[in-house]
Structure 1
Amino acid sequence: MTVLLLAALAVILAWPVPVLLGRARWVRRAPAAAMVLWQAVALAGGLSLIGFPLLWGLAPFGDTVVEAAPSFVTALADGSWIPRLEQDPWLPTRIAAATLALALFAHLVLTLAVTAVKTVAQRRRHRQMVELLAAPPSERSRLAERTAGTPTRVLPHDVPLAYCLPGLTGSLTVLSRGLLEQLSAGEVAAVVTHERAHLRQRHDLLRLAFEAWHRAVAWLPTTAIAQRAVAGLTEMLADDAALAAHGRQDLIRAIVLTGEAGAPETPRAEASADPAGRPPNIQDDGSVPLTLRLYRLLSPADPLPAPARVAVILAAPCLAAFPLGLLLWP
């Protein structure tokens, strides 16, 4: 019964739930609650996907995963699983299922580690390139740096551009000369506050986790839905942070002038300036449509009622804990 529950949960969380949540309109009214829910869906889905073959495979060796795992390893090591074939002819299939579940778990962890290492290396190279190309500090760049609260570099490009570079030893806000010249002081401040929110709320880690999840199980189409949805939610959260400190018109005009499709926390460091002198297009992933952000800002909806937000936030950890409980308790 427990295996069937985990299998059903894996199917539900792998397809209909991400599709429905990705289409839900209420998330624009409560992006923070929606972000928590997306994390719970991903965690519960991963545990269920790994858990149901693992639990079915370990069933002859114990009632719980904690109890059965040592017996499973011992049986494989000393060959004692062979006499059990008389009682359970499905035992070779069970061993294969448990092994597959462990291999999938190792694959997920390894993919996350590789993605993190590659991202850190790309950011390091990108930061070196920015330091190389950065223009001398000006009065406006110093003002932007004070607003951002992090070191700020200005690229000598006429195209309005702004993004953030998270780092292990310190973060960096990158602006272009065109942004400082073409936007008003209020608009620049709104953009910088938006980028600071990305850094302060560590949106780079959230997007990194879902990017790794998508890479690990790219055969599952809904992982792409989750990746795009989380990218969109990070932009909504950063926009809300900017709106809390600056005027709505300043933020809207700044977004239009910069043509932001979502300020990327993990810019493509392998891109470099082209021969025409334009800055690298680090916003070409298209994960967050500009029209979606503008629609939300131009037609603001009332926030989701507090009881509904609390209900979503409370339901999220319960959802994440449910498959874990099925794996650990008989």
Structure 2
Amino acid sequence: MIAAAVALGALALALAWPVPVVLSRAAWPSRSPAAALALWQGIALGGGLAMIGSLLAFGAAPAGSLVDAARQLLPVFTAGPIPAGFGVVQLAALTLAVGLAVHLALNLVTTAVRAERARRRLHSMVDLLADPAADGSGARVLSHPIPLAYCVPGLRTVTVVTEGLVDLLDADELRAVLAHERAHLDQFHHLVLLAFRAWHEALPWFPIANRAERAVSLLTEMLADDGARRQVGAEPLGAALARLGATGEPGPYAESGGVNPDAAMLAQRLERLGGSRHPLDGRARVACWAATAGLVVVPVGILAAIAT
């Protein structure tokens, strides 16, 4: 049990600082944003499991397994003394593990509820204030001079543009922007970003949470750019982004409430669209996906081994 706690603690420490720092500074994620996005999710999920698992393994060590620890400690809540071998340190570790798991889960639920409420308000406002686009694209047009484009996810999705955007862009550029927003919806980026926003809000003092949310936001923008590039081409999309600037999108989705695109992100996207892309080769992508799976499978496997 102690060996499992040490192994999980070492993994949690690695995924809490050096690994995400190295990944956030690497250049290769822009070449294969899908693989990089999956790796970020593996780091977040694997790190959380390893952190909680390490505390559980250490706290349950006197009993020999997690199940035996539960059998010995649960009756203490109603009657009986604390079993021999369990000291203040072990009980504190178990309490912290349970508290951290509950805190993360509740924060995810409350973040999802707030996002759903924001989506409903946005849908109501769009229904009331926006008109269907004349080009038959299915987008809705708001009467507003500032050029903006955003999408509202959910069971009923909608892409919204302003009259200022329609007046600013030509037909191909407008189609590129609409394709970019539809890619956000089709690839369910709002769910990925919701999880990282919840992680950041649950641990606002944790610097890696902010770094991860920012990196994931940029990767979702790159993936949406790739979707628009396949439909319309890189040139119209690049021209539209250059005209709109960093303020043309309020975020990867309308109620994001998190990291919004800024000048640095825009510059990276434009550079990527303007140059020749060299995606990672097959072996590198396989290694990335294998590492992603390993980051989750390893802590789950260790916890399963010490459960009984």
Fold-level match, TM-score > 0.5?
yes
2:148 corresponding residue in structure 1? 161
In the alignment, which residue of structure 1 is the partner of 2:24?
A: 22
Which sits farther off after the overlay, 124-133 or 305-314?
Answer: 124-133
Secondary structure of the 2:141 match is strand
Which residue of structure 2 lines up, in the alignment, with residue 253 of structure 1? 239
Determine which of 92, 97, 101 is the counterpart of 2:93: 97
* Separation (CA, whole Å) in 2 of partners of 1:286 and 1:245: 25
Equivalent residue number for residue 79 of structure 1: 80
Q: TM-score, normalised on structure 2?
A: 0.92
CA–CA distance in structure 2, aligned partners of residues 157 and 79 of structure 1: 69
Q: By how many angstroms is 1:305 displaced?
A: 0.6
Mapped partners of 1:287, 1:216: distance in 2 = 27
Cα drift, residue 97 of structure 1: 1.1
The DSSP-based 3-state class of the residue aligned with 1:78 is coil
- Answer whether contact 2:152 2:255 (CA < 8 A) is retained: no
Deviation at 1:191, TM superposition (A): 0.9
Q: Which residues in structure 2 correspond to 1:211-250 (within 5 Å)?
A: 211-250=197-236
SS at the partner of 1:237? helix
* Corresponding residue of 2:168: 182
Q: Any stretches of 5+ residues in structure 1 without a counterpart?
A: 146-151, 271-281
Alignment of 1:106-185 (within 5 A): 106-134=102-130, 136-140=131-135, 142=136, 144-145=137-138, 152-167=139-154, 169-185=155-171
Q: CA deviation at 1:81?
A: 2.0
Aligned residue for 1:329, secondary structure, equals helix
CA-CA distance at 1:209 after TM superposition: 0.1
CA deviations on 1:115-148 (whole Å, 9 max, x unpaired) are 01011111211222222221x43522x2x22xxx
Normalising by structure 1, we get a TM-score of 0.86
Deviation at 1:49, TM superposition (A): 1.2
Q: Superposition RMSD on alpha carbons, in Å?
A: 2.1
* Distance in 1, Cα, partners of 2:62 & 2:133: 71
The letter for the 1-side match of 2:132 is: P
Residues 11 and 256 (structure 1), Cα distance of their counterparts in 2 relative to 1, 3 Å cut: same
Name whichever of 292-301 and 305-314 sits farther off. Answer: 292-301
Cα deviation for residue 283 of structure 1 reads: 8.5
Structure 2: unaligned runs, 5 residues or longer: none
Number of residues paired by the alignment?
Answer: 303
Q: Residue 274 of structure 1 corresponds to which residue in structure 2?
A: none
Q: State the percentage of identical aligned residues.
A: 44
Map Cα deviations across residues 63-120 of structure 1 (whole Å, 9 max, x no partner).
2x344333332344432425x1xxx3x6222112101110100000000001010111
Residue matched to 1:149: none
Deviates further, 22-31 or 286-295: 286-295
Distance 1:38 1:269 in 2: 18
Q: Structure 2 vs 1, CA of residues 309 and 25 (structure 1 numbering), >3 Å: closer, same or farther? A: same
